[in-house]
Amino acid sequence: MSRKVGFIGLGIMGMPMAKNLLKAGNTMCVYDISPKATKEMEQLGAKIASTPREVAEFSEFVMTMLPDAPHVEEVYLGKNGLIEGAHEGLILIDTSTTDAISTRKIADEVAKAGIKMIDAPVMGVQPTAEQGALVMCVGGLPEVVEACREILMTVGSKVVHAGPIGTGKILKLTNNLMQGAALCVTAEALALAKQMGLDTETFAELFKANLIRNFEFGVFKMVQKNFDAMFKTNLMLKDMRLAHGMATAQGASIPMASMGREMLQLAVNGGMGDEDCTSVFKLYDKKN
């Protein structure tokens, strides 16, 4: 079904998302501070607005993809912002990666204007956006999320509804927190393997065949709070000590892995040595 869809923020991720919405047959109105970006969309058939307010006045749905919270606040709440173009039935979809607090603040003002909003930050990179295969981490009322599902699935391949407004941002940021830390410790391990003469392709093969599966398995054990031993904490700690000694002898720096070893030591000290190594989760989950 063709819709009137607005898009604000035609950057690396926003441009391919807007193009996919246009290709799907929607009537588009776009806004960006870059004349080059808006001209490209205009040549493809989109209407160009001079303010976010004009985008809102034109649209049934407005999707935003902006750099940071101050930009989102300005576009939504500033002079000639989206809420100044509020009208019955309008739904705003913020796909920017910002924090939950600022998102909820904006959502409160949006609600006062009599319109609806969800947050839907995306998981993926530019090629994923071009393919329309982003994972949408969504926060908002269930009925509003359902009203937006067709739009979300035009730019993405999966919608994960996390809960109320702002939880999409929490889901995205906690996931990226994990990915960022995992990326650093992977870089440490790869560099150490290379320094010690191991072929990096061999390292990558093991990563694909074993470690990714183990990470996935570990997450589910933590979620289920099933700490029956598959690989005991004291054995993981022993292997971490051996690896740390190997790195020290090589003169390699492994600060991320060293912190992991210390956390496993705390788990063993706390009586979790014979439990599964995923029991380290208990050190972080003290509130529960």
In one letter, which amino acid is 23? K
- Picking from 165, 186, 210, the residue at the C-terminal end of a domain is 165
- CA dist 226 and 249 (Å) reads 36
In tens, the pLDDT along 229-276 reads 999 999 999 999 999 999 999 999 999 999 999 999 999 999 999 999
Same-domain check for residues 81 and 157: yes
- CA dist 60 and 3 (Å) reads 7
Same-domain check for residues 24 and 104: yes
In tens, the pLDDT along 160-207 reads 999 999 999 999 999 999 889 988 998 999 999 999 999 999 988 887
Whole-number pLDDT of residue 218: 87
Q: Is the confidence at residue 288, as pLDDT, over 70?
A: no
Q: What is the mean pLDDT of residues 209-232?
A: 86
- CA dist 206 and 211 (Å) reads 7
Return the number of other C-beta atoms located less than 10 Å from residue 143's C-beta: 9
Tell me the CB-side half-sphere exposure of residue 238, using CA atoms within 13 A: 7
In one letter, which amino acid is 82? L
- Torsions phi, psi of 49, nearest 5? -100, 155
Same-domain check for residues 151 and 226: no
Whole-number pLDDT of residue 237: 95
Q: What is the CATH number of the domain that holds 154?
A: 3.40.50.720
172 catalytic, yes or no?
Answer: yes
Same-domain check for residues 30 and 159: yes
Q: Is the confidence at residue 211, as pLDDT, over 90?
A: no
Same-domain check for residues 109 and 215: no
Straight-line distance from the first to the last Cα atom of the chain, in angstroms, rounded to the nearest whole number: 46
**Structural domain harbouring 51:** 4-165
- CA dist 168 and 94 (Å) reads 10
Same-domain check for residues 146 and 274: no
Same-domain check for residues 10 and 148: yes
Is the CB of residue 129 less than 8 Å from the CB of residue 140? no
Same-domain check for residues 278 and 152: no
Helices and strands: H and E segment counts in the chain: 13, 9
In tens, the pLDDT along 69-114 reads 999 999 999 999 999 999 999 999 999 999 999 999 999 999 999 9
Whole-number pLDDT of residue 215: 79
Q: Is the confidence at residue 2, as pLDDT, over 90?
A: no
Catalytic residue among 47, 116, 169, 172: 172
- CA dist 238 and 174 (Å) reads 29
- Single out the residue of 17, 150, 32, 5 nearest to residue 95, CA to CA: 17
Q: Is the confidence at residue 286, as pLDDT, over 80?
A: no
In tens, the pLDDT along 109-165 reads 999 999 999 999 999 999 999 999 999 999 999 999 999 999 999 999 999 999 999
Whole-number pLDDT of residue 264: 95
Is the CB of residue 64 less than 8 Å from the CB of residue 92? yes
Q: Does some domain include residue 177?
A: no
Whole-number pLDDT of residue 214: 79
Q: Does some domain include residue 184?
A: no
Q: What is the CATH number of the domain that holds 247?
A: 1.10.1040.10
Same-domain check for residues 161 and 22: yes
Whole-number pLDDT of residue 287: 59
Same-domain check for residues 97 and 10: yes
